[in-house]
Amino acid sequence: MSLHPMIAALRKHKAGVVLIAMQIAVTLAIVCNAIFIIYARIENVRRPTGLDENNLFLVTQQWVGAPSGDDPASVQKLDAMLREDLNALRALPDVESVSPTNSIPLLQSSWNGSAALKPGTDLREGNARTTFYFGDEQWLKTAGLHLIAGRDFTAADVTNMAFRDNSQPAIVIVTKPLADKLFPGGNAVGKVIYLNGDSKPTTIVGEVERLQVPSVSSWASTFVWNSTIAPIRLNGNFSRYMVRAKPGRLEAAMRAVPNALYAANPMRVLDDDSVKSFKDIRAEAYRADIGMAALMGMVCLILLAVTAAGIVGLTSFWVGQRHRQIGVRRALGARKVDILHYFQLENLMIAGAGALAGIALAVGLNRVLMSKFEMQSMPVYYVLAGLAVVMTLGQIAVFVPARRASNVPPVVATRSV
């Protein structure tokens, strides 16, 4: 089939052709950027924290009328209260292990600082930003982390200090990304680092594969996997406990916690959020991301539907307008399938032209979004996928009116309207 008569015909409908092409272009630009955003969000949500997330929950509580924690004696009093809680929780039948902790991945409440190879160096170049987790010898076990090098903390390693105390731990366990950043040559275990610009040396005793920081905000995206675990019980007027329930006993263990804690010491505040499963913590952390992805997905679908409807509408109009010409072609010997192909090919040309403009628009839109929002550069295959989607959509949409056109009987040619 020669394209020449088709182009000549399209010239008569410039406005309609331009409109469809424009609509396809804008649709392509929005759809591939939206899909890119959806993908980035999903990717974010799906990354594992490093924890064994099943059967894990967190308890947050605050004591009423607790010692101030300003002097050594009151710190020891706070520590005694903390250990009392730990014992109460460890005694529960459905609980496998418990560790005090300051935070947990995805909790959003974080304690951040730096690790350096030289003493007294503040947070500047050559240093690694890191988040800190404080717990006892059961922290790793409760979190479900496995060492890839070195050793776990022992009960003898664990010390306690006031929540506001600024001194650095003697030993730590770090994540592999942090270790690799500090010691690109490997073998970080046994090496000495300096935390938070302090001059007191800290020895790395172990290394774990992966542990995410508590914050999922964009400001923490530069050090998502840089975590440091210190064997310290922090003593303040509030405390958090990371608890691993026995397999399948999560709910029972969570239900038993408030009474066990009140029995140990009634002078405390526990509210609805105090005992929270890790599943809930995860859902809360990523709720906005999932909402955004769902919204984008919905917008894409509606957009494609609207565009398809537009193509159906305009092509139907053209078919109606060319009713007689189609009859003439049929009378002169064109088969039904020729008419069908004619409209399909016509749509392919219009959609192709629109899609070409759309590619440029999509890339441009991506650039604008990159400059205004925290967004990555969109890989080419998104554009290609979007291209395939809109071209297919065009073909599907044009099929109904094109079929109707192919059903125009040749006898129409002999009738006057």
Partner 1 sequence: MLSYYFGLALRSLKRNRMLTALMILAIAMGIGASMTTLTVLHVLSGDPLPGRSASLYYPQLDPRDMPSYTPGVEPPGQLSWIDGMYLLHAKRGTRQALMTGGMVPLQPEQSSIDPFHANARYTSADFFPMFSVPFQYGNGWGDAEDEGKARVVVISAALNDKLFGGENSVGKTLRLQETDFRIIGVLGDWRPNPHFYDLYMGAYADYEQVYVPLSTSRDLHMDHGGSVDCWGDSAGDQVHLERENCTWLQFWVELDSPASVAAYKQFLEHYSQDQRASGRFTRPVNVRLRSVMQWLDYNQVVPSDTRLQAWLALGFLVVCLVNTVGLMLAKFMRRAGELGVRRALGASRRTLFGQLLLESGVVGFAGGVLGLLLALLGLWLVRQQPSDYAKLAHMDAAMLLATFVLSVAASTLAGLLPAWRACRIAPALQLKAQ
Q: Which residues bind partner 1 (CB under 8 A)?
A: 15-16, 19-20, 22-23, 26-27, 29-30, 34, 37, 62, 64-65, 68, 70, 122-124, 164, 166, 237, 269, 271, 284, 287-288, 291-292, 295-296, 299, 302-303, 306-307, 309-310, 313-314, 316-317, 320-321, 369, 372-374, 417
Of 252 and 292, CB closest to partner 1: 292
Cβ count near 389 (within 10 Å): 18
Least distance (Å) from partner 1 to the CB of residue 291? 6
Nearer to partner 1, 53 or 284 (CB): 284
The tokens for 181 are 């950043």
CB of 335 to partner 1, least distance (A): 27
> What DSSP element (H or E) covers 306?
helix 278-321
Cα distance between residue 377 and residue 359, in whole Å: 14
Instruction: Write down the least CB distance from residue 135 to partner 1, Å.
Output: 20
Distance CA 82, CA 77 (A): 9
Q: How far is the CB of 31 from partner 1 (least distance, A)?
A: 10
Q: How far is the CB of 158 from partner 1 (least distance, A)?
A: 22
Give whichever of 67 and 144 is closer to partner 1, judged by the CB atom.
67
| Stretch (H or E) spanning 217 | none
CA–CA separation, 414 and 341 (whole Å): 24
Cα gap 53→49, rounded to integer Å: 8
* Closer residue to partner 1, CB minimum distance, 302 or 396: 302
User: 50 or 69: whose CB is closer to partner 1?
Assistant: 69
Check if the beta carbon of residue 154 is closer than 8 Å to that of residue 208: no
By beta-carbon proximity to partner 1, the closer residue of 16 and 144 is 16
Asked if 113 and 130 count as a contact pair (C-beta separation under 8 A), the reply is yes
The residue behind tokens 């010491």 is 265
Q: How far apart are the first and last CA of the chain?
A: 29
List of residues 6+ apart from 360 with CB closer than 8 A: none
C-alpha dist (Å) from residue 164 to 80, 113, 228, 300, 326: 17, 14, 18, 50, 85
Least separation in angstroms between CB 266 and partner 1 = 11
CB 55 → partner 1: shortest distance, Å?
A: 25
Q: Whose CA is closest to 254, among 267, 238, 270, 234?
A: 270
Return the number of the residue (170 or 292) whose C-beta is nearest partner 1: 292
